């Protein structure tokens, strides 16, 4: 349903309660008369710009980031245009509030701050009627769905139904960063229970207070959901988010060739990390084929990044086996090597011939990697000894501490720079402030997936792509890396300025759409100007005249 058709039925208080239509005090005198709003609003008519200034002032007066998050989400629930206008104009300041790192705390407190439904809660008790639940959603032209089962929320673990904050936040970024219209976005929580006993015992918990569903019953529920999405929202791209390792890899393999879907933890993280590695090469010199990569963490993110690095290395001429040998993993039991008998299936392609190594420091000493990448969710694992050892082997050691939220980072920016005398090329999943050492100010990059997934989603929507492929994330990574300026690199940042995110998303979307047309994955005619096609799909948060 379009805004114009919604207006035919929205009137008076109902209009003020519709976040996609509400303009608050910006309704004109004529609109107030025609739409039954006279007396329901203060008499002064204000502009969108005046409203933005008021919102920003209120945000800055809040005592904590969680207070700021709650205020902004409440604004999103009542006036989406104003919310997105404020966020887009203040991306650097507000993205850490509406997403990482604050969204992690918001999920932990979600039962207390939940006010109005912003998505669909589908539980294990809804088997047999999931399509009916999807039809309860008020918007029919859904193009992007983010679904989680809450098992692995950021680095915080199993938060059950409280993980709904993640799909809500992700889709906010789809709109703010890439202009996908809010009415085309649907957050979904697939509530299959939780193994978090504290939540199950909490009388205020909002989800099913039971152990997690496993095995065939879990698979049948997911299958019904995926099938229902194809029936109710046939043009939608389905993004799996923050599933546990075992289910994440299984679901991706099961559905990636069948429906338009991807897993951001596996593929999006890979894209943004590869882009950062390309950026680091512009500082260190050399080629990707000359480097070695060691990962702390062998789950979705670690293996996903390795797979994309392998694709990149093969594009530079290495065989698949030689490319895999450049990537090494460390899990909770030490270096992933062939002689181990406890390895999950997704780790096996990166289990190499090597003597067992028990810990990360010993692995760094044995492998002598060019880049150390943290994706374990284990905080403070990049110790001073480890970072200094990286600095001993490399003139410009690459240290990516990518675990979210900030409390889970493997090390801080200050630590990475201090322990390497300012030589580290550092990036993190959540932002760190600039750090000055010996008179030099270092601006670290934020290896946040928001650089990649919004543009990929926009490109998929614009081209009507029937599938999302690993190659799309490869071209997204190359495109993102090409947009890093010399000024960015001079400050130590291997990513573009966050305020340029809409420009970045357009470029990535155009590259993804171009690939979709080239690989016969597009379902719309190829236009003469792909960038123009992409931009035509982008929502702009501006009030329209109703009278």
**Claim to verify: residue 401 and residue 524 sit in the same structural domain:** yes
pLDDT of residue 116 exceeding 90? no
- The answer to whether residue 369 sits within a structural domain is yes
The predicted structure's pLDDT at residue 4: 47
pTM, two decimals, is 0.95
Number of domain units in the chain: 3
Does 105 fall in a domain? Answer: no
What's the Cα-to-Cα distance from 266 to each of 38, 46, 163, 164, 521, rounded to whole Å? 51, 45, 18, 19, 21
Q: Is the pLDDT confidence value at 286 over 50?
A: yes
Is the predicted pLDDT of residue 298 greater than 90, yes or no?
A: yes
Residue 31's nearest CA partner among 19, 18, 16 is 16
**225/321 same-domain check:** no
State how far the Cα of 439 lies from the Cα of 390, in Å rounded to an integer. Answer: 23
Q: What is the mean pLDDT of residues 398-426?
A: 96
Q: Which of 23, 69, 84, 99 is catalytic?
A: 99
pLDDT at 8: 54
Residues 273 and 410 reside in one and the same domain? yes
Domain ranges, residue 67: 3-96
Active site residue 205: no
Average pLDDT, the chain: 95
Same domain, 430 and 393: yes
**155-167 confidence digits (pLDDT tens):** 899 999 999 999 9
| Catalytic one of 69, 84, 170, 205 | 170
Considering the domain architecture, whether residues 492 and 390 belong to the same structural domain is answered as yes
Closest to 26 (Cα-Cα) out of 78, 71, 90: 78
Q: Using one digit for the tens of pLDDT, what is the confidence trace for 344-374?
A: 999 999 999 999 999 999 999 999 999 999 9
Residue 6 has a pLDDT of: 53
Residue that finishes a domain, picked among 219, 244, 259 = 259
- The verdict on residue 153 lying in a domain is yes
Residue 412 pLDDT exceeds 50: yes
Q: Are residues 528 and 395 in the same domain?
A: yes
> What 3-state class would DSSP assign to 448?
coil
Examine residue 199 and state whether it is found in any structural domain, yes or no: yes
Residue 102 has pLDDT above 70, yes or no: yes
Give residue 444's pLDDT band: very low, low, confident or very high (50, 70, 90).
very high
Quickly tell me which residue has 């609109």 as its tokens.
31
395-419 mean pLDDT:
96
Question: Active-site residue 170, yes or no?
Answer: yes
Top pLDDT among 404 and 133 is at 133
Strand segments, DSSP code E, in 120-184 are: 120-123, 144-148
Decide if 383 is inside a domain. yes
Q: How far apart are CA 514 and CA 530, in angstroms?
A: 7
Q: Is the pLDDT of residue 501 over 90?
A: yes
């Amino acid at each position: 349903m379009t805004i114009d058709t919604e207006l035919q039925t929205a009137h008076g208080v109902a209009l003020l309660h519709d976040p996609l239509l509400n303009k608050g005090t910006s309704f004109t005198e004529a609109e107030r008369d025609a739409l039954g709003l006279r007396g329901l609003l203060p008499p002064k008519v204000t502009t969108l710009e005046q409203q933005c200034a008021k919102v920003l002032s209120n945000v800055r007066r809040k005592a904590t980031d969680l207070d700021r998050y709650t205020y902004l989400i409440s604004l999103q629930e009542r006036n989406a245009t104003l919310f997105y206008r404020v966020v887009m104009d203040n991306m650097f300041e507000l993205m850490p509030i509406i997403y990482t790192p604050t969204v992690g705390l918001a999920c932990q407190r979600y039962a207390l701050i939940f006010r109005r439904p912003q998505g669909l809660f589908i539980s294990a008790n809804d088997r047999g009627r999931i399509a009916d639940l999807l039809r309860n959603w008020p918007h029919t032209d859904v193009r992007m769905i983010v679904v989680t089962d809450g098992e692995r929320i950021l680095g915080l673990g199993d938060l059950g139904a409280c993980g709904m904050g993640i799909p809500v936040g992700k889709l906010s970024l789809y709109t703010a960063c890439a202009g996908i219209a809010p009415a085309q976005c649907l957050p979904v929580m697939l509530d299959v229970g939780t193994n978090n006993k504290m939540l199950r015992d909490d009388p205020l918990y909002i989800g099913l207070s039971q152990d997690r569903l496993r095995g065939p019953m879990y698979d049948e529920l997911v299958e019904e959901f995926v099938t229902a999405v194809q029936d109710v929202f046939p043009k939608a791209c389905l993004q799996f988010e923050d599933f546990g390792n075992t289910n994440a890899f299984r679901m991706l393999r099961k559905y990636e060739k069948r429906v338009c879907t991807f897993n951001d933890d596996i593929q999006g993280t890979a894209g943004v990390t590869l882009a950062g590695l390309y950026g680091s090469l512009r500082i260190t010199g050399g080629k990707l084929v000359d480097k070695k990569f060691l990962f702390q963490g062998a789950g979705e993110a670690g293996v996903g990044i390795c797979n994309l690095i392998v694709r990149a290395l093969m594009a530079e001429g290495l065989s698949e086996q030689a490319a895999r040998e450049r990537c090494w993993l460390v899990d909770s039991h030490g270096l992933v090597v062939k002689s181990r008998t406890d390895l999950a299936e997704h780790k096996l392609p990166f289990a190499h011939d090597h003597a067992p190594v028990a810990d990360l420091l010993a692995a760094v000493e044995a492998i002598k990697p060019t880049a150390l990448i943290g994706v374990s969710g284990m905080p403070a694992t990049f110790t001073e000894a480890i970072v200094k050892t990286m600095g001993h082997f490399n003139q410009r050691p690459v240290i990516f501490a990518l675990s979210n939220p900030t409390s889970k980072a493997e090390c801080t920016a200050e630590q990475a720079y201090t322990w390497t005398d300012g030589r580290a090329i550092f990036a993190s999943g959540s932002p760190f402030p600039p750090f000055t050492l010996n008179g030099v100010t270092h601006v670290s990059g934020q290896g946040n997936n928001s650089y990649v997934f919004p543009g990929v989603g926009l490109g998929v929507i614009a081209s009507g792509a029937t599938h999302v492929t690993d190659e799309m994330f490869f071209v997204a990574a190359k495109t993102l890396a090409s947009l890093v300026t010399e000024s960015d690199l001079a400050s130590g940042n291997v990513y573009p300025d966050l305020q340029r995110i809409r420009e970045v998303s357009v470029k990535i979307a155009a590259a993804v759409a171009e690939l979709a047309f080239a690989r016969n994955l597009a379902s719309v005619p190829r236009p003469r100007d792909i960038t123009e096609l992409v931009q035509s799909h982008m929502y702009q948060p501006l009030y329209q005249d109703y009278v």
